[in-house]
Amino acid sequence: MQYMMFVATDPDAEPYDPAQDNIQEWATLVQARGAHLHGDRLRPVEDATLVRMRDGELIVSDGPFAETREWIAGYDVLECENLDEAIELASKHPMARFGRLELRPVWPFDPAE
Amino acid sequence: MTGTVAATPAEVRAAVAAAHRDEWARVFGALVRFTGDWSLAEDCTQEAFARALERWGAEGVPRSPGGWLTVTARRRAIDVVRRSGVEADKLRLMVADEQLAAPAADAALGDVDADWRDDVLRLIFTCAHPALPMEGRVALTLRTVAGLTTAEIARLFLVSEATMSQRLLRAKRKIAEAGIPYRVPPPALIADRTSGVLAVVYLLFTEGYAPDDGRVVRDELAEEAIRLARLVADLTRDPESRGLLALLLLQHARRGARLDDAGDVVPLDEQRRELWDPVAIAAGLRLVAEAPLPRGPYAVQAAIAAEHDRAPSASDTDWPRIVALYDDLPQHPVIRLNRAVAVAMAIGPDAGLAALDDLGEPAALAAGHLLPAARGELLRRAGRPDEAVPFLERARHLAPSEAEKRLFTRRIAECRDAV
């Protein structure tokens, strides 16, 4: 199963502590397992661009965005045996402590549907 | 595989009903493993029970009803998959393919019988997976482990059948679509997941005691919880599972004395103890006596319930020991509140009030009736009825059921008479 793991900030989480950030260790772990397909950080919402087509007209604007205190800071695509393995990997990610992670199963497109 | 003596229609109905109660989980669990598809497994299990009603009359009740039902349900699954060729590759029917090659479904009966414990455990753990919403876990456990129909579960939770059916469907869908594994968790997860299973069973039980109307069906819910607790305790042999079973038995043993003839709540110290169920108490006490140390939270709560259940009266209860047992529990606000009440019984109302002062007003208790109820009651016992009244009034205002409100009304009247 493939999971998209959204890495999000969370105001209720532990404050970020660079000394406790073990992202390299995590990357090594998921690579060694063959579970990591790809993933990266994302630039902050200030750098986001919103695109809409309304009544045939293209509307481009800068970041939206509802004033949320949680925003997506990165993503990883994981290939796992099942949800328990995905949970295990997510739990070891530093942002499980400094933010929060959302696991969404990838829904492969099936033209027959 | 079947008995040789034909059975009467009444015998067949009784045998099928018993099998439904005792064997549903193993038949369904085996079918989920076999097909990998919860809905197909459900249809085939249902179908097997319908066949049993038709055939056990002429063929006799089989020696292993669960084995017969499993084999029949498996054959049904193979038929369904054969007929819908397109879907065959979508269903995870590797096992079925093997079975199709060898006409050995009957010979597989022995292996079907041997595996059932694991099948039921897989089912129990999967239904209680933390990625499912709590109400979905509870509903799915009742449907698939306890074998209740959707209509029965809907009635127990006082929702429409359509609502319950949606809830079950969503839970089954999430298992498939989110990749929740159908298995007994590996050693690293087992402790955590077992406590998740126990939480589902305990919630079911406390739901049974949600003290509002519909009393009769609520009793059924508590009994269903006890049946599940026994199954989990038997299958996992986990000390906390036995602790939970003991706790439920010892609490439920008092059900006959909880309400008086007028339907009013009777507090523990005023209950007529001859109405308590001695068989359930004996079973609970035995489990408590056997519990290995150190005890987990359910086993400690069971030990507290045991102190109440074995005492001839409230005043003859070993309150100091109850206080000591509360000290062994995680210091959740509700636990500290109950401990304060036990302190009042062990030492005196003033000591209990002091313990309540230490507790303060934690958020977990702020909106409920428990805190003012305890303070009002302890003030009353301390001979300060005028001070007790406002707390008892507040407790009455916040109490969740009419039966409890009536109890506070009675207490307030007693206080006013005493002033």
Mean of pLDDT values over A50-60: 93
Among residues B115, B143, B177, which one ends one of the domains?
Answer: B115
The answer to whether B179 contacts A86, with C-beta atoms less than 8 Å apart, is: yes
Does residue B110 have a pLDDT over 60? no
Among residues B206, B228, B250, which one ends one of the domains?
Answer: B228
Mutation target vs B (from A83, A87, A88, A110; most B CBs, 10 A cutoff): A83
The answer to whether A105 contacts B177, with C-beta atoms less than 8 Å apart, is: yes
Does residue B88 have a pLDDT over 60? no
Whether B75 and B138 map to the same domain: the answer is: no
Does residue A61 have a pLDDT over 80? yes
User: Is residue B382 a part of any domain in this protein?
Assistant: yes
At B210 the pLDDT is 65
pLDDT classification of B1: cutoffs 50, 70, 90: very low
The answer to whether A86 contacts B185, with C-beta atoms less than 8 Å apart, is: no
Whether B105 and B175 map to the same domain: the answer is: no
Sheet holding A2-9, edge to edge: A36-41, A72-79, A2-9, A99-105
For the ranges A46-55, B16-25, B110-119, which has the lowest average pLDDT?
B110-119
Mean of pLDDT values over A2-21: 93
**Nearest C-alpha of chain A: how many angstroms from B184?**
12
Does residue B369 have a pLDDT over 80? yes
* Chain B contact for A63 (CB, 8 A cutoff): no
Among residues B317, B345, B366, which one ends one of the domains?
Answer: B317
* Chain A contact for B192 (CB, 8 A cutoff): no
At B96 the pLDDT is 47
Q: What is the Cα–Cα distance from B186 to B170, expressed in whole angstroms?
A: 26
**Which domain, by its residues, includes B26?**
1-115
List of residues 6+ apart from B306 with CB closer than 8 A: B246, B250, B284, B285, B288
pLDDT in tens, B29-78: 999 999 989 999 999 999 999 999 999 999 999 999 999 999 999 999 99
Whether B352 and B399 map to the same domain: the answer is: yes
The answer to whether A81 contacts B180, with C-beta atoms less than 8 Å apart, is: no
Interface of B with A in 115-134 (CB under 8 A): 129, 131
Does residue B107 have a pLDDT over 50? no
Query: Which residues from A are below 8 Å from B179, CB to CB?
Result: 1, 3, 80, 82-83, 86, 105
The answer to whether A81 contacts B131, with C-beta atoms less than 8 Å apart, is: no
User: Is residue B123 a part of any domain in this protein?
Assistant: no
H or E stretch covering A29 = helix A23-33
CATH entry, A2-105, from 3.30.420.40, 3.40.50.880, 1.20.120.1200, 3.30.70.1060: 3.30.70.1060
pLDDT classification of B84: cutoffs 50, 70, 90: confident
Does residue B274 have a pLDDT over 80? yes
Does residue B275 have a pLDDT over 90? yes
List of residues 6+ apart from B291 with CB closer than 8 A: B239, B242, B243, B246, B299, B302, B303
Mean of pLDDT values over A72-94: 96
At A104 the pLDDT is 97
* Chain B contact for A82 (CB, 8 A cutoff): yes
* Chain B contact for A113 (CB, 8 A cutoff): no
* Chain B contact for A83 (CB, 8 A cutoff): yes
At B216 the pLDDT is 53
Does residue B97 have a pLDDT over 80? no
Does residue B121 have a pLDDT over 70? yes
Does residue B102 have a pLDDT over 70? no
At A52 the pLDDT is 92
The residue ranges of every structural domain in chain A are: 2-105
Does residue B103 have a pLDDT over 60? no
Does residue B241 have a pLDDT over 90? yes
The answer to whether A107 contacts B178, with C-beta atoms less than 8 Å apart, is: no
pLDDT classification of B2: cutoffs 50, 70, 90: very low
Whether B351 and B419 map to the same domain: the answer is: yes
Mean of pLDDT values over B323-334: 94
* Chain B contact for A25 (CB, 8 A cutoff): no
Whether B182 and B245 map to the same domain: the answer is: no
Does residue B142 have a pLDDT over 80? yes
For the ranges B72-76, B106-110, B184-188, B312-316, which has the lowest average pLDDT?
B106-110
User: Is residue B322 a part of any domain in this protein?
Assistant: no
At B106 the pLDDT is 46
* Chain A contact for B187 (CB, 8 A cutoff): no
The answer to whether A82 contacts B181, with C-beta atoms less than 8 Å apart, is: yes
pTM of the entire structure? 0.84
Whether B252 and B277 map to the same domain: the answer is: yes
User: Is residue B174 a part of any domain in this protein?
Assistant: yes
pLDDT classification of B254: cutoffs 50, 70, 90: very high
User: Is residue B122 a part of any domain in this protein?
Assistant: no
pLDDT in tens, B152-175: 899 888 889 999 999 999 999 999
At A67 the pLDDT is 63
* Chain B contact for A81 (CB, 8 A cutoff): yes
At B206 the pLDDT is 86
Query: Which residues from B are below 8 Å from A87, CB to CB?
Result: 131
Whether B180 and B259 map to the same domain: the answer is: no
Whether B73 and B105 map to the same domain: the answer is: yes
User: Is residue B308 a part of any domain in this protein?
Assistant: yes
Mean of pLDDT values over B196-215: 79
Does residue A82 have a pLDDT over 50? yes
Quote the number of domains for chain B.
Answer: 4
Tell me the three state secondary structure of residue A17.
coil
User: Is residue B387 a part of any domain in this protein?
Assistant: yes
Longest distance between any two alpha carbons in chain A, whole Å: 51
Share of chain B above pLDDT 70, in %: 90
Mean of pLDDT values over B323-336: 94
H or E stretch covering A27 = helix A23-33
User: Is residue B121 a part of any domain in this protein?
Assistant: no
The answer to whether A82 contacts B185, with C-beta atoms less than 8 Å apart, is: no
Mean of pLDDT values over B133-150: 93
The answer to whether A87 contacts B131, with C-beta atoms less than 8 Å apart, is: yes
Mutation target vs B (from A84, A104, A107, A113; most B CBs, 10 A cutoff): A84
At A66 the pLDDT is 63
At B209 the pLDDT is 75
